[in-house]
A and B are shown apart, each in its own frame.
Chain A
Amino acid sequence: MKKDLICIACPLGCRLTARWLNESAIEITGNRCPRGEEYGREEVVEPKRVVTATVRLKSGFLKRLPVTTKRPVPKDKIAALLNRLYTIELSAPVIRGEVVLDMADDGVQVLSSRTVKK
């Protein structure tokens, strides 16, 4: 079994091929750097993305607080995460880096991207 991928680790956009040698061993070819190999492996095993969004904010200054996941999130968890974020409402003050949502079971942490004082 094999799968074609395009590397997103850097702007070069190498065309990668992932080949399953057996159940657990995967060979990545087409990459020009180690980051490409790492990306390729993860993309076929458990693809992940950093998710950014906004949540409602009670503030005299800003209506939506930008947030970001601390680490890349498995793709199949993204929709549920977003739907959950859109139900949240926070109140100022908020500090950049503050934890907005902690889904410990899924290992997903969402942080504020911006400081809003009032």
Chain B
Amino acid sequence: MNTAEFDTLVIGGGASGMAAALSAAEEGWKVVIVEREEFLGGILHQCIHNGFGLHYFKEELTGPEYAERFSDMVESSKITVYLNMTIMDIMKEGDGLTVYGLSMDPGMVRFKVRAVVFANGCRERNRGNIGIPGTRPSGVFTAGLAQRLVNLEGFVPGKECVIVGSGDIGLIMARRMSWIGANVKAVVEIQPNPAGLTRNIVQCLNDFDIPLYLSHVVGKIKGKERVEGVEVIPLENGIQQPEKMFSLECDTLLLAVGLVPDNELARKIGVELNQETGGPVVDSRLMTAIEGVFACGNLLHVHDLVDFVTEESSRCGKFVSEFLIGKRPEKQYRTNPGKNVKYIVPNYYEGARENVFYMRTLIVKNNAILSVKVKGTEIYRKKLRHIQPSEMIQFSLKEEDFKLIKDKGVMEVSIE
């Protein structure tokens, strides 16, 4: 079996993995990226639409363009890249980690490393996860699979299409299906508010007169061989109203019903998972409870912009570098989601440096107040012009913010 030694191994060569690897390599460490596809860039390559990079590059790029800017940087760096390789196993061994990667060439490789970064993204929730009753015909696709079939392979999954889920992926696919000559009959959303950005409602649905059914669910899939239609049921106060059910004929159903961090490998090595995000529990330096094992990007929690993935992952690369030098954080304290907060990442903070937080709210509101309290004392307050669950909130606390607290402890973040 081939053996290779590196300071750090990054699992996944998408936006997250590339940013983490680049930022660790900048500090002079020997870094390897392991990517299972035959190219770097991950899911960005199937996201051929524009809207990427506004924060990071201050210009509007398509997914492939965004990916390529980073893969160009990786190519001109000293980072080693293994493509077409799947990580099979990861284990603690001695004071380092052993990772097994599988590929056709050079076969199985045993990596001995000091740190591992999980940056292998997420997977889509599917029909089974949301339990849509009915028959099991062909023609039911997760939106991401359909996107890959369309944008990478050039297929038209079907002619008459219904989409479940009004998140950005569902909206983007509504426009894509329209732009390849299919007819999108409706987008069905269980929540009373659209899950995606308003700009996408306008340019992906309104532009094509595609109806958006809020507070509705697909109650049944019909068709023996291929999908023949769906039954759509309205909700009132969260309760299905079967007598108001109506049918839509279609040959294709796309499910854009959310993403889940792809944490099977992380789980294998015993990383604790956060119930809210589905990603690993991490400390203020994005390290899991297993020494030397880090997590960032959509594997840690699902971001809504790739720009934020890049930012977080670059930071993760720097934390890996500090870890490799031997720097360890001082005492850390929990960060807990308070009122109207779904989750906050990372799950710990420390007092002696700047801490960056990402969080999501449970409510839709204009002019909301974000408040951070440590043991009941408010140490930070921020006005937010508009908040909604689908938009991630970012804030950071500087060293001086913590100086207010005499007695450090659990931090609670709430929104009013």
Contact = CB atoms under 8 A, between A and B. Distances in A.
Do the two chains belong together in a single complex? yes
Interface of A: 6-13, 49-54, 56, 61-64, 66, 68, 75, 78, 82, 96, 113-115
A67 B333 CA distance: 48
A75 B180 CA distance: 16
B27 to A, nearest CB: 28
Contact of A113 (B60, B64, B391): B64
Contacts of A10: 199
B198 A66 contact: no
Given A6-B202, A115-B68, A52 B49 contact: yes
B331 interface: no
B155 to A, nearest CB: 10
Nearest to A12: B386
A8 B199 contact: yes
Interface string B320-353: 0000000000000000000000000000000000
B50 A50 contact: yes
A64 B153 contact: yes
Which of A12, A51, A54 has the most chain B CB within a 10 Å cutoff? Answer: A54
B65 interface: yes
5 contacts: A10-B199, A11-B198, A49-B207, A66-B48, A113-B63
A114 B65 contact: yes
A59 to B, nearest CB: 12
Instruction: Report the contact-size class of chain B (Cβ under 8 Å from the partner).
Output: 20 to 34
B175 to A, nearest CB: 9
Contacts of B49: 52
Contacts of A114: 45, 64-65, 68
B48 A75 contact: no
Given A11-B197, A54-B48, A96 B65 contact: yes
Nearest to B150: A54
Given A6-B201, A50-B50, A63 B152 contact: yes
Contacts of A78: 179
Interface of B: 38-39, 45, 48-50, 60, 62-65, 68, 150-154, 179-180, 197-199, 201-203, 206-207, 385-386, 391
Which of B38, B48, B49, B203 has the most chain A CB within a 10 Å cutoff? Answer: B48
A83 B358 CA distance: 42
Contacts of A68: 48, 50, 62, 65
A113 B376 CA distance: 51
A9 B202 CA distance: 11
Contacts of B198: 6, 8, 11-13
Contacts of B153: 63-64
A53 B154 contact: no
B50 A52 contact: yes
B76 to A, nearest CB: 14
Contacts of B60: 50
B199 A13 contact: yes
A36 B207 CA distance: 18
Contact of B151 (A8, A12, A56, A64): A64
A64 B154 contact: yes
A98 B144 CA distance: 27
Given A68-B50, A96-B68, A113-B62, A62 B202 contact: no
A10 B386 CA distance: 12
A95 B49 CA distance: 18
A56 B68 contact: no
B179 A66 contact: no
A107 B42 CA distance: 33
- Name the 9 nearest CB pairs between A and B, nearest first: A13-B198, A8-B199, A66-B48, A114-B64, A113-B64, A113-B62, A64-B154, A66-B64, A8-B202
A7 B197 CA distance: 11
Contacts of B197: 11, 13
A75 B207 contact: yes
A27 to B, nearest CB: 21
Nearest to B152: A64
A17 to B, nearest CB: 15
B30 to A, nearest CB: 27
Which of A11, A50, A96, A115 has the most chain B CB within a 10 Å cutoff? Answer: A11
B152 A62 contact: yes
Which of B45, B49, B385, B391 has the most chain A CB within a 10 Å cutoff? Answer: B49
Nearest to B65: A113
Contacts of B62: 52, 66, 68, 113
A26 to B, nearest CB: 19
Nearest to A47: B207
A109 to B, nearest CB: 15
Contacts of B45: 66, 114
B151 A66 contact: yes
Contacts of A12: 198, 385-386
B256 to A, nearest CB: 18
